[in-house]
Amino acid sequence: MTPMNEVTTINREQRAYSDAAKKFLARKPQLFINNEWVDSSHGATLDVEDPSSGKIVGQVVDASDRDVDRAVAAARAAFDDGRWSGLAPMAREKIMHRLADLLEAATDDFAELEAIDNGKPKGMAGAVDVPGAVSQIRFMAGWASKINGEVIQPYTIPDGAFFSYTRKEPVGVCAQIVPWNFPLLMACLKIAPALAAGCTIVLKPAEQTSLTALRLADLIAEAGFPAGVVNIITGNGHTAGDRMVKHPDVDKIAFTGSTEIGKLINRNATATMKHVTLELGGKSPVVIMPDVDIAVAAPGAAGAIFFNSGQVCIAGSRLFAHRSIFDQVIEGVAEASAFWTPRASLDPEAHAGPLVSKEQFDRVLGYIEAGKRDGASVAVGGGAAEAPGGGYYVNPTVLVDVNPQMSVVREEIFGPVVVAQRFDDLDEVAKAANDTCFGLGAGIWTKDVGTMHKLASKIKSGTVWGNCHAVIDTALPFGGYKESGIGREQGRQGIEAYLETKSVIIQL
């Protein structure tokens, strides 16, 4: 079986860019420090590549150590003199809402830049990424006015002799490092709680996808944030990112990316005992019980893996379907995969785009080949899609006849590849679902409410979805068990991650 759309040839030529995008791409590569666009200390740049065509379409700065130091110094000064944390919470909230309004008004611009830079369809970026980014800022803006300590009665001291309480204080200068799969959304998910808490920021987008973070800088200046509160630098992870992580004037690191780099960052941050939150990889199970409506669950399972071409940390990359319905589920996923056939990111008909880079394309195809070598059978897709004009298109792929020893079953592929397995009972599938070093998300499809709750409690992951997948809401904490991360983002816990707690004990 192959995706049905492959029967007809798809034109994967990238479409023309808007004048606004062309103008943005033609800008001189610069960094955003102290609310100003500044030159790098050296002339090094990184290419901006459009993965829909493989063409180089612009340049951004590859920040030097001196650039990083300059950005950190700006954030440090802005934090230490209280120009942001010292504002009334209402004033902080108002500026954040202004940023959200500006971003919302520019949805189309941001969606196009994201499509050009990352390869995701412009329609998806406009419907998912930009509104998601806006809601992160709006939700956290409200928290600026709800950060409270508490009065606590001491345990060993009689009442009235002392007055003691806790204060919640911003943690300080935050280095925030984000990945390439949801560049704008991740950037806003990171800056929003830090801003609400009163922290200052140096943000670095991934080297593959810097455009929307740079465009966001324009809006940050326009919204009225004091200088130095948000600084945005572009550059390589192993140089600029590493410098941020090790910098003595940085108080907290917030990172989203691979488990491998997350572990490295955690080790590097220890020398100066920085606060660290890490949102890392996953290999999320999707469990389909025999009582489901397959016409609903199978497209749900397809969307769980093929949305964003599988480049999602919570992608449902391990499908477990009950033995009695396994073949029908695979048939249903195969049919639904046609919807996710990759097209150029500015094609209005696209629901999925190319992978972000040649490196990722090679990596994903390498996994598919390894799966085949190890004995897996290809039920759907199984390789690259035709793209004579260039670009990194991989067809939605379903592998069956797999076993738990295969790399395709154990490792995060970060592409449109799902491995499908059969199961017989609840305990067996719970055990198999947990047989991974990751624990980020899980999907359960059943009409039986008892089964839903039982399985939700058995699966070790930061989020469990019932009869849906990858529904992310800014009010709900998000993070990982096991090697999928440390700490939680979003919700009340998301703001707590940017606060210190101080106890004050006063003898009366």
Q: Is 205 left (phi over 0), alpha (psi -120 to 50) or beta?
A: beta
How many amino acids of this chain bind ligand ADP (CB under 6 A)?
16
Our CB check for ligand ADP shows the closer of 179 and 342 to be 179
Question: In the window 257-296, what residues touch ligand ADP (CB under 6 A)?
Answer: 257-258, 261, 264-265
Residue of 51, 170, 241, 396 interacting with ligand ADP (CB under 6 A): 241
Q: Measured between alpha carbons, how far is 122 from 131 in angstroms, rounded to an integer?
A: 13
Our CB check for ligand ADP shows the closer of 184 and 325 to be 184
Question: In the window 207-236, what residues touch ligand ADP (CB under 6 A)?
Answer: 207
Residue of 63, 75, 177, 355 interacting with ligand ADP (CB under 6 A): 177
Residue closest to ligand ADP (Cβ) = 237
- What the block records as the tokens of 267 is 């080790």
Residue of 238, 263, 447, 502 interacting with ligand ADP (CB under 6 A): 238
Single-letter amino acid code for the residue at 245: V
Find, among 467, 50, 497, the residue nearest to 289 by Cα: 467
The alpha helices in 160-315, defined as continuous H runs, are: 183-197, 211-223, 242-246, 259-270, 294-306
Residues across the chain: 508
Question: Other CB atoms closer than 10 Å to residue 54's CB: what's the count?
Answer: 17
Find, among 141, 471, 414, the residue nearest to 300 by Cα: 471
Active-site residue identified among 93, 114, 207, 279: 279
Provide the minimum distance between the beta carbon of 242 and ligand ADP in the complex, in angstroms, as a whole number: 4
Active-site residue identified among 199, 313, 412, 483: 313
Q: Measured between alpha carbons, how far is 347 from 331 in angstroms, rounded to an integer?
A: 27
**Which residues make beta-bridge pairs with 442?**
464
Residue of 116, 245, 387, 495 interacting with ligand ADP (CB under 6 A): 245
The site map against ligand ADP for 178-207 (x = CB under 6 A) is xx------------------------x-xx
Question: In the window 353-412, what residues touch ligand ADP (CB under 6 A)?
Answer: none
DSSP string, 115-167: HHHH---HHHIIIIIHHHHHHHHHHHHHHTT-----B---SSS-TTSEEEEEE
Q: Classify residue 160 by its DSSP letter.
A: T
Provide the minimum distance between the beta carbon of 363 and ligand ADP in the complex, in angstroms, as a whole number: 9
Q: Identify which range of 28-36, 143-151, 238-246, 289-297 contacts ligand ADP by CB under 6 A.
A: 238-246
Provide the minimum distance between the beta carbon of 479 and ligand ADP in the complex, in angstroms, as a whole number: 16
**279 classed as catalytic:** yes
Provide the minimum distance between the beta carbon of 370 and ligand ADP in the complex, in angstroms, as a whole number: 18
Provide the minimum distance between the beta carbon of 457 and ligand ADP in the complex, in angstroms, as a whole number: 31
Residue of 49, 50, 109, 242 interacting with ligand ADP (CB under 6 A): 242
Our CB check for ligand ADP shows the closer of 238 and 447 to be 238
> Is 250 in a helix, a strand, or coil?
coil
Find, among 339, 345, 346, the residue nearest to 396 by Cα: 339
Q: Measured between alpha carbons, how far is 191 from 200 in angstroms, rounded to an integer?
A: 9
Burial of residue 475 (CB within 10 Å: 0-12, 13-18, 19+) is exposed
Where in the sequence numbering do the catalytic residues fall?
A: 279, 313
Give residues in contact with ligand ADP (CB under 6 A). 177-179, 204, 206-207, 237-238, 241-242, 245, 257-258, 261, 264-265
